[in-house]
Amino acid sequence: MPCFVILIALIFPRLALFLVWILSNYLGRAYQSVLWPVLGFLFMPLTTLAYAWAINAYGSVNGFPFAVVLVAALVDLGAIGGGESHRRRRSR
């Protein structure tokens, strides 16, 4: 079951972030204000989820949790950049 949840979060990170926000206090424990989760929902949802997991599971972002957050950030940035390059190719 946890692997299925992780798979859903990778495929639909905004949906997973929304469900985590509605159904638990997971984001509230990781972030001090509402601003960062909202910005994360708009721009980098997978990184927002990874950071919340790192803070809730380990208490900080050092070592292995840092690697997970870094990979999530790279995946988010790759999705943003991949969409832009696809748009440029399509418009030519």
Q: Break the chain into its structural domains and give their ranges.
A: 2-91
- Residue linked to tokens 């798979």: 7
Give the model confidence (pLDDT) of 51-77 as tens digits: 999 999 999 999 999 999 999 999 999
pTM: 0.83
Q: Which residues in the chain come in under a pLDDT of 70?
A: 1, 82-88, 91-92
